[in-house]
């Protein structure tokens, strides 16, 4: 036996291993070299999903326990115990861990739910108690102009310091939502965030489970308040103020109209909707993507100055703390910090990026849920997790495939939003009823601007602590990036095929999910083929410019269409080929413009506005290119903001005051005005708004042989007047007045003798429209019910004695 083959032995036949300085070190070196070679050859390690079941178990446990329902909690406990017992018998320790996590999270959430249910302040809120509170405003100020019967309003989040009510006093540190309306708004708007305020309020229960302790509705202006300066900020008010103010100077038309970093208080409603239509809503939120961009830039700068190892990690942790401080430690900020850290940690991991990213994302999910169990029921949290998962799982291989023939930065700009959009599309479709077609294009174009806008904006906020002039310069530069994002959203929303309606039924959402997964499996192969990518991009552009409608829509030879414009009315009467008369225009220009484009309407010579509430006149600007020649309006010009908006949106149209008995004919459409009355004095709860509703124009429209009764927002007094003065109200179709509210006279509904009743109403609206009682009355009258909130736009035509009803979804 050669010397190299001899093994030294000791008593008892124990074999001594070779010295670490000998063959063992050589073998270890060979193993490391082979691993490095394997990575260099492009092989990837198997994806580590061991923490995913634990994260899902935590999510399920928090969701079940936060429901507060004994049956669901019992189901969760049984599932957890079953997992532990089966895992123990089979020695499957991962299954045991899943069961323990499920039980532990249910216990943690159960304790939080019990504390919330037994909180004395929540009890006072459930009794609508009047109390004197002392609160410190924390920011997140929102406000809005009055619409319809709603007055101007103001709202802000606050920390409840003390409360006196029902003969008791309480100290607290919980969150409340403070609200004011009407004439009190101006006084509350003067209070800077961070100030301590004392006021008399009426408490109300918070709708969202796990949200604020209560809603405090101000009964008077603040009786006393003292300004509190943020300890680390040299300005009074919200820490987001310097970014918002410095950006405001870049707006060419509407100062402060495009905010960022989660502060959307200065964004008008139409711009918010345009960001939603183009799939850019995530840019206006405090998101993990924003934090990842910030930390990636910070990491680049830190490496440039030589920081490595724990010094670099410490610098990034300080960046996270600064992000949370700037945006305030609200639930969305905590969520963004967790997701952003997971996304950043997965950057630069090479072949281990997917495994490392999934592990860190799982830990982030568990951590966020332990901090706030009600996040398990948050759609925002769901979308954040799905977007992060899609980016971690798909973005890197897709980028590698596309980078074979495209510059890598551009490939990443395409693949990252595509991965996020495919991952979140099923949930987005379920809550919006739309598929954003323009979203990918908009995100690709916006991609190069997001980084500079985010980094410059946060840089402006940080530098302003030390010196305002350079902070203003950074904010000015960030503002131009933000303004460009606004332009992209506005232009994208104007594209005819920006969004496609889609049903929200479970089967339809499952179909979208299957389609997204199938697309995700094909994307890497498709992206590697240049000519196929060009062909698909060309097809996408064609769809955007000339979108195909839903199957069967619009119906052939339609005569009347009730557009799905949300909470509002927009009734299209077909006057001829590509020509129509419009009765009311809905609340939003984009909504009515999309509806008319889908119907092939190119000209609207006549528009009738039943009254001047925003949900009936707000969309008039969407008809700017359709040749509106004449407006028929009510003699009542209240509310003034609605009337002035009409003057601004249709300056060149001839205005005619409707008169009872007047008949107007345009092509195949004949309008007979059966009631046009001056405003009434109302003693109802809705005050002047009820009187404005009762001044709505009432008309009978005839399109060929089809007849329709249109009555705006007419309520009981107006309907009674119409019954007395209008004569025969019999028609084929009734557009139920006031979106089906409870303010209806059964005699008026019966007098229409309609066979079809249309409810033009927004999904999940705050008004409770249509009222169940009114739905029941109409059903008892034998009418067929069609609803825009459930079925989309509604088309009707008459063929002989038969009425043909077609719905968009």
What confidence tens digit (pLDDT) does each residue in 198-222 have? 999 999 888 766 667 889 999 888 8
Is it the case that residue 355 has pLDDT exceeding 60? yes
- Return the pLDDT at 16: 36
Q: How far apart are the first and last CA of the chain?
A: 86
What angle do the packed helices 331-345 and 379-390 form, to 10 degrees?
10
pLDDT, tens digit, 9 for 90 and up, residues 275-315: 777 777 666 666 665 666 667 667 777 878 888 777 877 78
Contact 611, 695 (CB under 8 A): yes
Contact 560, 574 (CB under 8 A): yes
Nearest alpha-carbon partner for 567 in 587, 545, 543, 590: 587
- Alpha helices, DSSP H, located in 329-375: 331-345, 353-371
Phi, psi of 505 (to 5 degrees): -70, 155
Nearest alpha-carbon partner for 631 in 606, 613, 648: 606
Helix, strand, or coil (residue 774):
helix
**Sheet (strand 663-666) strand order:** 663-666, 669-675, 698-703, 706-710, 733-735, 756-759, 784-787
In the chain, count H helices and then E strands: 27, 24
Is it the case that residue 649 has pLDDT exceeding 90? no
Phi-psi category of 256—alpha, beta or left, where left has phi over 0 and alpha has psi -120 to 50? left
Q: CA distances (Å), 34 to each of 28, 37, 551, 651, in order?
A: 10, 5, 57, 76
Q: Lowest-pLDDT range, 418-432, 602-616, 723-737?
A: 418-432
Q: Which helix (H) or strand (E) holds 538?
A: helix 530-545
Phi, psi of 244 (to 5 degrees): -65, -45
Contact 589, 619 (CB under 8 A): yes
Helix, strand, or coil (residue 160):
strand
Torsion angle defined by CA atoms of residues 506, 512, 518 and 521, in that order, rounded to the nearest 10 degrees: -110
Q: What is the mean pLDDT of the chain?
A: 78
- Return the pLDDT at 731: 92
554 prior amide bond cis, ω within 30: yes
3-state secondary structure 398-420: HHHHHCCCCCHHHHHHHHHHHHH
Residues contacting residue 122 through CB under 8 Å, at least 6 positions apart: 116, 205, 213, 214
pTM: 0.65
Nearest alpha-carbon partner for 50 in 81, 94, 10, 15: 94
Contact 679, 691 (CB under 8 A): yes
Contact 98, 61 (CB under 8 A): no
- Structure token digits, residue 233: 């900020």
- Return the pLDDT at 775: 92
Q: Which helix (H) or strand (E) holds 138?
A: strand 130-144
Q: Which residues of 324-335 are buried (b: 16+ CB within 10 A; e: fewer)?
A: bbbbbebbbbbb
More confident residue, 397 or 454: 397
pLDDT band, very low/low/confident/very high, at 68 (cuts 50, 70, 90) = confident
pLDDT, tens digit, 9 for 90 and up, residues 109-158: 888 888 877 888 888 888 889 999 999 887 667 777 665 456 778 888 88
298 prior amide bond cis, ω within 30: no
Residue 104: other Cβ atoms inside 10 A:
15
pLDDT, tens digit, 9 for 90 and up, residues 302-350: 878 888 777 877 787 777 777 776 666 566 666 667 776 665 655 555 5
- Where does residue 728 rank: exposed (0-12), middle (13-18), buried (19+ CB within 10 A)? exposed
C-alpha span between 424 and 367 (Å, rounded): 22
pLDDT, tens digit, 9 for 90 and up, residues 505-536: 888 889 989 999 998 999 889 888 888 888 88
The whole-number average pLDDT for the span 24-38 is 40
Contact 600, 576 (CB under 8 A): no
pLDDT band, very low/low/confident/very high, at 272 (cuts 50, 70, 90) = confident
Nearest alpha-carbon partner for 207 in 794, 764, 692: 764
C-alpha span between 704 and 150 (Å, rounded): 39
C-alpha span between 134 and 225 (Å, rounded): 9
- Return the pLDDT at 55: 92
Phi, psi of 802 (to 5 degrees): -100, 135
Helix, strand, or coil (residue 42):
coil
Contact 752, 730 (CB under 8 A): yes
Residues contacting residue 152 through CB under 8 Å, at least 6 positions apart: 143, 144, 145, 146, 181, 182, 185
Q: Lowest-pLDDT range, 30-44, 277-291, 364-378, 527-541?
A: 30-44
Range ranked top by mean pLDDT from 98-112, 172-186, 338-352, 374-388:
98-112
Residues contacting residue 426 through CB under 8 Å, at least 6 positions apart: 509, 512, 513, 516
Rg from Cα positions in the chain: 31
Q: Lowest-pLDDT range, 155-169, 332-346, 666-680?
A: 332-346
Q: What angle do CA 626, 631, 634 make, to 5 degrees?
A: 150
The residues with which 216 forms a beta bridge, in sequence order, are 178, 203
C-alpha span between 371 and 332 (Å, rounded): 12
The whole-number average pLDDT for the span 375-380 is 83
The residues with which 150 forms a beta bridge, in sequence order, are 147
- Return the pLDDT at 292: 65
What angle do the packed helices 269-277 and 589-599 form, to 10 degrees?
50
Residue 14: other Cβ atoms inside 10 A:
8
Is it the case that residue 695 has pLDDT exceeding 80? yes
Sign (positive/negative) of CA torsion 256, 261, 265, 267? positive
Nearest alpha-carbon partner for 613 in 654, 632, 591, 585: 585
Residues contacting residue 58 through CB under 8 Å, at least 6 positions apart: 101, 102, 105, 365, 366, 369, 370
Q: Which residues of 779-789 are buried (b: 16+ CB within 10 A; e: fewer)?
A: eebebebbbbb
Q: Lowest-pLDDT range, 35-39, 278-282, 296-300, 401-405?
A: 35-39
Name the DSSP letter for residue 680: P
Residues contacting residue 623 through CB under 8 Å, at least 6 positions apart: 582, 585, 592, 593, 596, 604, 607, 650
- Where does residue 703 rank: exposed (0-12), middle (13-18), buried (19+ CB within 10 A)? buried
């Amino acid at each position: 036996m050669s010397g190299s083959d001899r093994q030294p032995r000791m008593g008892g036949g124990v074999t001594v291993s070779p010295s670490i300085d000998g063959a063992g070190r050589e073998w270890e070196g060979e193993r490391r070299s082979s691993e490095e070679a394997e990575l260099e050859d492009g092989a990837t390690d198997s994806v580590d999903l061991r923490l995913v079941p634990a994260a899902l178990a935590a999510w399920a446990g928090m969701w079940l326990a936060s429901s507060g329902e004994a049956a669901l909690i019992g189901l969760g406990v049984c599932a957890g115990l079953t997992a532990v017992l089966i895992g123990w018998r089979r020695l499957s320790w991962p299954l045991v861990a899943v069961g323990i996590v499920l039980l532990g999270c249910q216990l943690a959430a159960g304790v939080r739910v019990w504390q919330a249910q037994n909180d004395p302040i929540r009890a006072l809120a459930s009794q609508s108690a009047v109390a004197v509170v002392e609160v410190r405003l924390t920011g997140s100020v929102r406000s809005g102009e009055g619409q319809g019967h709603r007055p101007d309003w103001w709202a802000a989040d606050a920390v409840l310091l003390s409360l006196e009510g029902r003969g008791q006093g309480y100290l607290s540190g919980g969150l409340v939502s403070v609200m004011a309306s009407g004439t009190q708004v101006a006084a509350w708007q003067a209070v800077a965030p961070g100030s301590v305020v004392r006021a008399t309020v009426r408490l109300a229960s918070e709708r969202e489970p796990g949200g604020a302790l209560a809603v405090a509705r101000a009964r008077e202006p603040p009786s006393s308040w003292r300004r509190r300066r943020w300890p680390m900020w040299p300005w009074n008010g919200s820490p987001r103020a310097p970014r918002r103010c410095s950006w405001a100077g870049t707006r060419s038309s509407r100062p402060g109209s495009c905010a960022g970093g989660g502060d959307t208080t200065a964004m008008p409603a139409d711009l918010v909707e345009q960001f939603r239509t183009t799939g850019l809503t995530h840019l206006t939120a405090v998101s993990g993507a924003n934090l990842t961009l910030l930390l990636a830039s910070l990491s680049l700068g830190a490496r440039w100055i030589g920081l490595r190892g724990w010094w670099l990690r410490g610098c990034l942790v300080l960046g996270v703390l600064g992000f949370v401080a700037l945006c305030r430690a609200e639930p969305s900020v905590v969520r963004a910090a967790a997701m952003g850290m997971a996304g950043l940690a997965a950057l630069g991991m090479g072949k281990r990026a997917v495994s490392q990213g999934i592990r860190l994302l799982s830990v982030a999910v568990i951590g966020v849920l332990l901090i706030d169990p009600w996040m398990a029921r948050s759609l925002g949290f769901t979308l954040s997790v799905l977007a992060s998962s899609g980016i971690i799982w798909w973005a890197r291989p897709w980028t590698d495939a596309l980078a074979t023939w495209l510059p890598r930065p551009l490939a990443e700009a395409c693949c990252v939003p595509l991965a996020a959009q495919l991952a979140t599309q099923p949930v987005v479709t379920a809550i919006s009823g739309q598929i954003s077609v323009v979203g990918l294009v908009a995100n690709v174009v916006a991609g190069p601007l997001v980084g500079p806008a985010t980094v410059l904006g946060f840089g402006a906020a940080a530098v302003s602590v030390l010196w305002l002039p350079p902070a203003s310069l950074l904010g000015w530069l960030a503002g131009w990036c933000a303004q460009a994002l606004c332009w992209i959203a506005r232009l994208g929303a104007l594209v005819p095929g920006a969004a496609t309606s889609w049903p929200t039924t479970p089967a339809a959402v499952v179909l979208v999910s299957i389609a997204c997964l199938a697309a995700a499996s094909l994307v890497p192969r498709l992206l590697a083929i240049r000519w196929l990518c060009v062909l698909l991009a060309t097809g996408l552009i064609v769809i955007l410019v000339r979108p195909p409608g839903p199957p069967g829509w619009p119906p052939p030879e339609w005569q009347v269409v009730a557009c799905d414009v949300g909470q509002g009315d927009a009734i299209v009467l077909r006057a001829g080929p590509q020509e129509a008369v419009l009765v009311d225009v809905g609340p939003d220009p984009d909504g009515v413009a999309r509806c008319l484009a889908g119907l092939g309407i190119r000209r609207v010579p006549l528009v009738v506005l039943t009254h001047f509430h925003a949900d009936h006149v707000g969309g008039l600007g969407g008809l700017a290119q359709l040749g509106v020649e004449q407006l028929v309006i009510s003699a009542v010009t209240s509310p003034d903001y609605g009337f002035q908006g009409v003057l601004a949106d249709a300056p060149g149209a001839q205005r005619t005051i409707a008169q009872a008995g007047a008949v107007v004919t345009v092509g195949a459409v004949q309008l007979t005005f059966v009631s046009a009355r001056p405003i009434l004095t109302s003693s109802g709860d809705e005050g002047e708004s009820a009187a404005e509703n009762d001044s709505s124009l009432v008309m009978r429209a005839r399109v060929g042989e089809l007849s329709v009764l249109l009555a705006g927002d007419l309520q009981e007094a107006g309907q009674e007047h119409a019954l007395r003065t209008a004569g025969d109200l019999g028609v084929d179709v009734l557009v139920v007045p006031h979106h089906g509210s409870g303010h209806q006279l059964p005699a008026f509904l019966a007098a229409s003798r309609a066979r079809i009743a249309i409810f033009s109403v927004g999904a999940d609206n705050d008004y409770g429209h249509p009222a169940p009682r009114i739905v029941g009355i109409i059903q008892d009258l034998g009418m067929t019910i069609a609803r825009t909130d459930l079925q989309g736009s509604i088309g009707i035509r008459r063929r002989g004695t038969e009425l043909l009803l077609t719905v968009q979804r």
